[in-house]
Amino acid sequence: MVGADGKNREMAMIDRRTMTMWLANINPGKVKPELRSKIEAYQCEAADALDKYFNEGAAIRFKTNSMDEESLILAKANQIQSRLLGEARRENLELRASNEKMRPLALLGEAFVSADGTMSVRQAARHFQAIDKRMNCDTVYGILRGTGYIELRSEAPTVKAVKPGYLKPVMSRKANGKLDRQYARFTAKGVNWFIDRFIYGRSQGRLPGVA
């Protein structure tokens, strides 16, 4: 670059965005004393602007010398609108997360509607895993046997499970049509009970329309 004295000099240029971040991160202790107060004031203002932008949705700098009252009101209204839009976005994300959490229960409800009102332990375990990945078939059987709802040496439900309507006893058949052995199937009430007691806790979601 040619200076006023006609000599060529090399100079570096940076854009305003880069300059803004550089000034915000510079160490005030390493600048000249006459500039230090200005740098510190700038960094405080930059920190306030970033805080308002990320937490309220907008950061507006009011120019008190040149902005008339109408423009000031308009700017404040825009700031409020930005904040409200930010809150609406957060609420929408929370609602979507809640819907995703309830989706496994909705799928379970659909499965019961398309079946005979009962579900095998293996089928139920696949749905339970959509809520808690640890709930595979062996784990569910282990819980039911460990708490006395299925016989220790078979897959038959105990009176403790049948009487309240959690599990339903069903007889399997051999290839020749003769009865073979008894095994357990979950009822809709039983699935709700299992989710309430062993996966969630009683303040969580339930299958639609099941007490």
pLDDT of residue 44: 78
pLDDT of residue 99: 52
pLDDT-derived band of residue 200, with 50, 70 and 90 as boundaries?
confident
> Which one is predicted more confidently, 83 or 155?
155
Cα(31)–Cα(37) distance, rounded to whole angstroms? 10
pLDDT of residue 22: 65
Instruction: Give the tokens for residue 197.
Output: 């007691």
Q: What is the pLDDT of residues 68-116, one digit of tens each?
A: 555 665 565 566 556 656 666 777 666 565 555 555 555 555 555 445 6
> Which of the residue ranges 45-49, 56-60, 89-93 has the most confident prediction, judged by mean pLDDT?
45-49
The closest alpha carbon to 41, from 51, 50, 28, belongs to 28
The closest alpha carbon to 183, from 126, 116, 122, 139, belongs to 122
Residues 6+ apart with CB under 8 A from 125: 135, 136, 137, 139, 140
pLDDT-derived band of residue 210, with 50, 70 and 90 as boundaries?
very low
Q: What is the pLDDT of residues 125-135, one digit of tens each?
A: 988 888 888 89
> Could you give the angle at which helices 121-129 and 69-114 cross, rounded to 10 degrees?
170
Least confident of 48-57, 61-70, 136-145: 61-70
Overall average pLDDT of the 199-203 stretch: 62
Q: How many residues does the chain have?
A: 211
pLDDT of residue 133: 87
